[in-house]
Chain A
Amino acid sequence: MRHTISVLVENKFGVLTRVASLFSGRGYNIDTLNVGPTDDPKTSRMTIVTRGDDATLEQIVKQLEKLVNVIEVQDFRADEYIDRELVMIKVSVDSKARAEVMQITDIFRAKIVDVQPKSLTIEVTGNESKIEKFIVLMKTFGILDLTRTGKVALPRKSKD
């Protein structure tokens, strides 16, 4: 089962390596990993999408919590959180396909951020299913390049 885990860490030397090596050392999978600072300059938030059964997930959370530089770990259950991912896709287009791609981009409320004679670069933001659908549609035109941020997530309710 796929899980989205949010990890609040202290901005200390080596903390990303510690988290990453915990996953590799204990044989856990990482699908995506996103790191960035929070409003507090002393902390960063990692959003990790991982896979495993319940027992594995329980271990992942506990092992993360055991790291001295990890302040808090949240394992999000479905519907408890909002998540977004930003993807940039470079799609091959000719003059005929360009209009169609722009139309789909519109439907998905995505943005064209660069136009070249033979390609369009599109920025799309959304949850997992929207992103997946968009990528599937773009595949029919030919994806030249693609980069994604990985999922970022926050709980719907505030903690206290």
Chain B
Amino acid sequence: MAPRPPVAQLESTYMNKAIESAKKSPARKRAEVGPAMKGSEILIACLEREGVDTIFAYPGGASMEFHQALTKSTIRTVLPRHEQGGAFAAEGYARATGKAGVCMATSGPGATNLVTGIADAYMDSIPLVVVTGQVPQSMIGKGAFQETDFFGMTLPVVKHSYLVTDINEIPRVIKEAFYIAQTGRPGPVVVDVPKNIQQAQAQPVFPDEITLRGYDPNPQASDLELNEIIGLIEKSERPVLYVGGGIITGEASAELLKFAEAAQIPVTTTLMGVGAFPELHPLSLRWLGMHGTAYANWAVSGEFAPKAHPNDPPQKLAHGADLLLAFGVRFDDRVTGKVEKFCETGTIVHIDIDPSEINKNKPANLPVVSDVKYALGRLNAMIEERPIAKKFAAWHKQIAEWKAKAPLGYRVTEEVVTSQHMKDHLSGKESEVILPQMAIEMLYELTQGEAIITTGVGQHQMWAGQYYKYKFPRQFLTSAGLGAMGYGYPAALGAKVACPDRQVVDIDGDGSFLMNVQELATAHIEKIAAKALILNNQHLGMVVQWEDRFYQGNRGNTYLGDPENMKQIYPDYITMARGFNVPAERVMFKKDLRAALQRMLDSKEPYLLDVIVPYTEHVLPFVPAGKTVAEMIWKP
């Protein structure tokens, strides 16, 4: 262990500082000195001070000290059955609440199992504090048992990270970690703590303030910039609001609604922004992009005639937006397709709290670095003083036509009727086939659109976005940027722990669900009544869809069932759930679906509903990767 300064000396230095700052602002609290305790106990005490009520933690040799301390803490420790589940659950908790999610694991394999969750939180800007045990300092670099350089390993996927090298740093590090994770553009912060530091004794000094010289999380737009935006709106004929996860993390939904209504501007969201604007609102265009609504994509980039041949030149039928108000978005490739063609003829206003997002993927005509809640609040105040005269009647008429022309839709196609699925599972009962979209629509009806929905990754994720209509922020929790399969159920657990009074349903695929199936144990043991609705098509549906479209349907390891017995549903989730003591049932026929969904929703404990659906469905609309709206396939 590194020699540490005697506590008394530290205290006095700190006290001097505290007195100094007290002079500057008399109301400021003094630092608090706690009784002597172990490093592990100091860290847990720090978590308590940050208001942490739940931690998702899996113990091991290098983190068991923390778990010992947790047994004496008010914090609820939820034991996931795999560290990845713990990380995703912490993310679900964070997304549902806006507070930092906290997860913990031991060194080496425990820590490496967290990496996917950390990367996911980084991509989707989710506040996460990740505490890991590390081998004792004397063993670092020796290839010790369960040693990995976790600080080094996670560098590209963290907002910030710490390797604690002195027990006296713990209170400051934890305070900074929560501050950094939750402010500005949120993200994951890793705190790696060697075991000898956990075991050392010290008297903690809990700081009441922090100084980070290189960190300014709160940029605010100038009135000059905001006036410019109003000027552009007044000049425009076809404005569109394109808003994302920034609205949700920035808690700016109310401001957005007020602004959109006052200025009469239609709103499309990204997948991350689903729920930022009520989807039943007449100004809502739902979400845009690769599998977004045709009308949202047209509203942004213009409507094009369907191409008879892929090499035909695009033929524009109607103009898209002449002004794109991109607020809290990052012009992700799944949104833009070929980025040069995205809103090609529009003026782009880009507001983001992270300066590095401006001009990263798409150059902005008017870049504004700002907290979006502040910017929208000021814009609303300005509009209130001097209302926008324009009503954009022609534009709203055009959009209404588009909505009528290309609503989201599905039907039982010839392809479904003649598919292997029908032969294997529904012979003689073809009319009873359940399409995945149908199941989601029914879930929407039965929950009156009030449930928190989580998803895995793939076709079911897109349909969960399309056929459930979202009313409020933090209602749709999905791994959008990283696209991490297995996210759905653990995230649902985290959300349910955070919001025990809400119905939380994981709409999952059979592939994604299996990736963290062990979390059924967590659900049962911890009594977390999160529901899993598996849309089981026995395939990796999204890859199958790409195989069908681009590889002549050649199957490359995308069948998940048992090739030697294709009539059987494999694996048998009902038997598995029984092993976990989680009630479960399977639905094959449409006639049974509604009642089964209701039973799932009524259950006071976790519940698994395995809905067997055909693999032949494609997610539409579909703008193939790197293509433009002119190449969009949208007719079901």
B162: min CB distance to chain A, Å = 8
Q: Which of A13, A21, A62, A69 makes the CB contact (< 8 A) with B356? A: A62
With CB as the reference atom, state the residue of chain A lying closest to B156: A25
With CB as the reference atom, state the residue of chain A lying closest to B355: A62
A17 to B359, CA, bound (A): 26
Contacting pair B212 A68 (CB below 8 A): yes
A18 near B: Cβ within 8 Å? yes
A-B contact count (CB 8 A): 47
With CB as the reference atom, state the residue of chain A lying closest to B212: A68
A13 to B354, CA, bound (A): 24
Contacting pair A68 B163 (CB below 8 A): no
CB neighbours of B162 from chain A (8 A): 13
B550 near A: Cβ within 8 Å? no
A31 near B: Cβ within 8 Å? no
With CB as the reference atom, state the residue of chain A lying closest to B215: A68
Contacting pair B213 A71 (CB below 8 A): yes
Q: Which of A18, A65, A69, A70 makes the CB contact (< 8 A) with B355? A: A65
A62 to B215, CA, bound (A): 13
A74 near B: Cβ within 8 Å? no
B137: min CB distance to chain A, Å = 12
B625 near A: Cβ within 8 Å? no
B214 near A: Cβ within 8 Å? yes
Contacting pair B212 A17 (CB below 8 A): no
CB neighbours of A50 from chain B (8 A): none
CB neighbours of B163 from chain A (8 A): 13-14
A159 to B474, CA, bound (A): 44
Of the four ranges (under 10, 10 to 19, 20 to 34, 35 or more), the interface on chain B belongs to: 20 to 34
Contacting pair A55 B214 (CB below 8 A): no
Of the four ranges (under 10, 10 to 19, 20 to 34, 35 or more), the interface on chain A belongs to: 20 to 34
A116: min CB distance to chain B, Å = 38
B118: min CB distance to chain A, Å = 15
CB neighbours of B213 from chain A (8 A): 10, 71
Tell me the chain B residues, 162-178 only, with Cβ under 8 Å from chain A. 162-163, 165
CB neighbours of A59 from chain B (8 A): 356, 359-360
A150: min CB distance to chain B, Å = 22
With CB as the reference atom, state the residue of chain B lying closest to A71: B214
B151 near A: Cβ within 8 Å? yes
- Greatest chain B CB density within 10 A among A17, A55, A62, A71 is at A62
A59: min CB distance to chain B, Å = 6
B333: min CB distance to chain A, Å = 16
A72: min CB distance to chain B, Å = 8
A14 to B163, CA, bound (A): 9
A66 near B: Cβ within 8 Å? yes
With CB as the reference atom, state the residue of chain B lying closest to A12: B162
A36 to B162, CA, bound (A): 22
Contacting pair B165 A21 (CB below 8 A): no
Tell me the chain B residues, 129-168 only, with Cβ under 8 Å from chain A. 151-152, 155-156, 159-163, 165
With CB as the reference atom, state the residue of chain B lying closest to A73: B214
Contacting pair A14 B151 (CB below 8 A): yes
A13 to B162, CA, bound (A): 8
A131: min CB distance to chain B, Å = 32
0/1 interface trace, chain B 181-222, chain A, CB 8 Å (1 if under): 000000000000000000000000000000011110000000
Contacting pair A68 B152 (CB below 8 A): no
A17 to B153, CA, bound (A): 11
Contacting pair B214 A10 (CB below 8 A): yes
B217: min CB distance to chain A, Å = 10
Say whether, besides A67-B214, A69-B214, A13 and B165 are in contact (CB < 8 Å). Answer: yes
A125 near B: Cβ within 8 Å? no
CB neighbours of B180 from chain A (8 A): 68
CB neighbours of B159 from chain A (8 A): 68
Say whether, besides A14-B151, A65-B355, A21 and B156 are in contact (CB < 8 Å). Answer: yes
Q: Which of B155, B160, B355, B360 makes the CB contact (< 8 A) with A17? A: B155
A127 near B: Cβ within 8 Å? no
CB neighbours of B215 from chain A (8 A): 68
B552: min CB distance to chain A, Å = 34
A34 near B: Cβ within 8 Å? no
0/1 interface trace, chain A 10-51, chain B, CB 8 Å (1 if under): 100110011001000100000000000000000000000000
Contacting pair B152 A17 (CB below 8 A): yes
A58 to B357, CA, bound (A): 11
With CB as the reference atom, state the residue of chain B lying closest to A8: B214
Q: Which of B161, B214, B363 makes the CB contact (< 8 A) with A70? A: B214
Contacting pair A55 B359 (CB below 8 A): yes
A16 to B213, CA, bound (A): 17
CB neighbours of A62 from chain B (8 A): 355-356, 358
A70: min CB distance to chain B, Å = 5
A49 to B160, CA, bound (A): 25
A103: min CB distance to chain B, Å = 49
CB neighbours of A70 from chain B (8 A): 214
CB neighbours of A65 from chain B (8 A): 214, 355-356
Say whether, besides A21-B156, A68-B215, A14 and B356 are in contact (CB < 8 Å). Answer: no
Contacting pair A68 B214 (CB below 8 A): yes
CB neighbours of A105 from chain B (8 A): none
0/1 interface trace, chain B 244-271, chain A, CB 8 Å (1 if under): 0000000000000000000000000000
A24 to B215, CA, bound (A): 23
16 contacts across the A-B interface (CB closer than 8 A)? A10-B214, A13-B163, A14-B155, A14-B163, A21-B155, A55-B359, A59-B356, A59-B359, A65-B214, A66-B356, A67-B214, A68-B159, A68-B212, A68-B214, A70-B214, A71-B214
A25-B155, A55-B359 known; 5 new pairs, CB 8 Å cut-off, are: A9-B214, A10-B213, A14-B151, A55-B363, A66-B356
Interface of B with A (CB < 8 Å)? 151-152, 155-156, 159-163, 165, 180, 212-215, 354-356, 358-360, 363
Closest 7 CB pairs of A and B: A62-B356, A71-B214, A68-B160, A25-B156, A70-B214, A71-B213, A21-B155
